[in-house]
């Protein structure tokens, strides 16, 4: 079911799920990314999305995600194969060390509580495109929905911490999670 498509080492794999396809970002995604992240609730659920979103920020984000020297692999959560929006949100992996990556995700507010985030995160975890032995993730403590996505995907609570939120312009209490792979 979550078999890799395009397993070329020079490209990000495309990962199909039951209802979605995780695929690398493309320039045409910038408009929908801007649309979803203009919602304060989406921006405030992340560390790095500013609110309000400055002009050109979504395009710059997509260009960084497409860059050959990127730090983070970002996948669009694409529902178009199931008559849904072409982009519902994103899921990402940032390599921390050679065998450790940090997982991040956000989903457009109109798709909250649909299981799409859980399906996307589970597919990325199952596929493990970085070949990580350990995945880390965090959720802001005022966002229990994201915490549920992580625990539903086998992440274990590690402890409390704080992270900076650009949209909130403040440090925000977080729950930190760990997922040991195979």
pLDDT in tens, 26-61: 999 999 999 999 999 999 999 999 999 999 999 999
pLDDT digits (tens, 9 = 90+) for 112-140: 999 999 999 999 999 999 999 999 999 99
What is the SS3 string spanning 79-146?
A: CHHHCCCCCCEEEEEEEEECCEEEEEEEECHHHCCCCHHHHHHHHHHHHCCCCCCEEEEEEECCCHHH
Is residue 8 a part of any domain in this protein?
A: no
| 3-state class (DSSP) for residue 74 | strand
Q: What's the domain count of the chain? A: 1
Domain residues for 107? Answer: 15-180
CATH number, domain of 90, equals 3.40.630.30
Is residue 1 a part of any domain in this protein?
A: no
């Amino acid at each position: 079911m979550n078999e890799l498509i395009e397993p070329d080492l020079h490209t990000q794999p495309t990962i199909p799920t039951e209802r979605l396809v995780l695929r690398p970002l493309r320039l045409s995604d910038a408009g929908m990314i801007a649309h979803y992240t203009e919602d304060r609730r989406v921006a405030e659920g992340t560390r790095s999305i500013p609110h309000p979103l400055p002009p050109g920020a979504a395009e710059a984000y997509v260009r960084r995600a497409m860059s050959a020297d990127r730090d983070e692999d970002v996948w669009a959560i694409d529902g178009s194969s199931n008559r849904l929006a072409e982009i519902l949100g994103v899921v990402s992996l940032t390599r921390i060390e050679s065998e450790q990556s940090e997982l991040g995700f956000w989903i457009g507010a109109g798709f909250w509580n649909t299981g799409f985030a859980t399906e996307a995160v589970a597919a990325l975890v199952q596929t493990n495109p970085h070949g990580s032995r350990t995945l880390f993730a965090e959720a802001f403590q005022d966002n229990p929905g994201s915490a549920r996505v992580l625990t539903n995907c086998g992440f274990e609570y590690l402890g409390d911490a704080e992270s900076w939120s650009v949209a909130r312009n403040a440090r925000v209490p977080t729950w930190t999670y760990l997922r040991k792979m195979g």
